[in-house]
Structure 1
């Protein structure tokens, strides 16, 4: 497991990566360009270059330079002929990951919570529950071991604890993402896709749960909700960021449509958990 990138502390995951809003980016690049021209004339060409460099780095790390950009940029760009095309790819949200827990007869909800508390996986901490130190230590040891291996080996290991008949590693060379795809012989649309960080977290949870829960179905069912207790990315080690399902310029329509909170790895640009 590698250490977190120093830039991850400066980067705003909710406005960058797959969540980057291109209308906001275009507006800010244009404004930085204007600032570069002004600085070059009022100061020196070197001063203009420095303004451009600082502006570009800020947009890359933070999503935008000008405060409150998400409030005005979409309307501004939409008024420009052809500007709406920028919304087709911009402001997307990392997909909610699939999970190993697909057993219809496995416990869920309050029943599953009760099983985890009774078995010593979770414990009460005032008005909430947290992993017990013993389980959390075993879980993190398993994650560290899995993170050091290849995705191909990870897929083989996930297959051993899943209900699937086949497993394969999938890599997106253009965007840099890696997945474990599980299937029962059907087409791609019927496959279960786990991002590499999620596959590491859930397989590690299943392995660590073996000392607490004898039923494999219950182990798989518990693997997904246990992801809410992650603080760092199981794969790269970066500190997870709290975000929402709302895209940069998406927002929500009203009090009845509040976006759900999520845990996202800013370095891997992967969603680890969605809070219900």
Structure 2
């Protein structure tokens, strides 16, 4: 029986929303046919279900149409929504440092521009790292050890008690007894944030008065400008690709280390 199945749309690759939609269509068509002949309508319904079981759909093109037009809330209801990528530091383990800042950040790029971290590029209508900040950040990246939870505690000013760095399916996570402190798409992204936090300390006077969420947002945004990758000191490059699941597709912008292909920054378009 297995050889008759269309593996692309059945088994683990079956799109549950597609199946539900096609079953509903089958019921409707069977009822219409059954209006003229109950026997033929019943036989048609069995054949429709067999087609859905073996092919994954009844109406040709359903998977492609589902990926393009099915609303996000429907995908979420069936647990088929594409998961958001890890962003980095989420919150500080010290509640006192999680109070709202007096100077809220509306736009990371404007914030970095005000603090001489980025400036207009010479050769394009975009923003680039300033020479002064790029130099400091590169020095911090080059000086990185194989970073541990202890290094993160120092760089992010966290309590070192019960702080753990663990590997996850989507990268690495920093946790303590209260839960998650942050998640990164790779160890390189985690280490780049540690270096950036040290570098920003000399450019942003109120850096350590910012909440963990604010610093995490800024560090994650700054990773888009990563000048070199940890340890290998190789270049980071920007790429665009597409994430595709059984039920949806989504364009993605990412920054990766060219030598080991580790993701530093990821944004869903």
When the two structures are superposed, what TM-score results if normalisation uses the length of structure 1?
0.52
CA contact (8 A) 2:105 2:111 kept: no
Specify which of 111, 114, 124 is matched with residue 110 of structure 2.
Answer: 114
Residue of structure 1 in register with 2:133 after alignment: 135
Q: Larger strand proportion, structure 1 or 2?
A: 2
Give the unaligned 5+ runs of structure 2: 16-81, 92-97
Give aligned pairs, total. 182
Residue of structure 2 in register with 1:97 after alignment: 86
Other structure's SS at 1:246 match: strand
How far off its partner does 1:237 sit? 3.9
- Structure 1 residues 80 and 273: CA distance shift in structure 2, 3 A: closer
Structure with larger RCO (C-alpha < 8 A, sep 6+):
1
CA contact (8 A) 1:171 1:179 kept: yes
Give the unaligned 5+ runs of structure 1: 1-75
RMSD in angstroms over aligned alpha carbons? 4.0
Q: Which moved more, 1:134-143 or 1:98-107?
A: 98-107
Instruction: Tell me the distance in 2 between the aligned counterparts of 1:251 and 1:86.
Output: 6
Residue of structure 2 in register with 1:79 after alignment: 6
Residue of structure 2 in register with 1:203 after alignment: 194
How far off its partner does 1:227 sit? 0.5
Instruction: Tell me the distance in 2 between the aligned counterparts of 1:236 and 1:251.
Output: 36
Instruction: Tell me the distance in 2 between the aligned counterparts of 1:219 and 1:191.
Output: 12
Instruction: Tell me the distance in 2 between the aligned counterparts of 1:250 and 1:232.
Output: 32
- Structure 1 residues 246 and 181: CA distance shift in structure 2, 3 A: same
CA contact (8 A) 2:118 2:130 kept: yes
When the two structures are superposed, what TM-score results if normalisation uses the length of structure 2?
0.53
Q: Which has the larger radius of gyration?
A: 2
Residue of structure 1 in register with 2:156 after alignment: 162
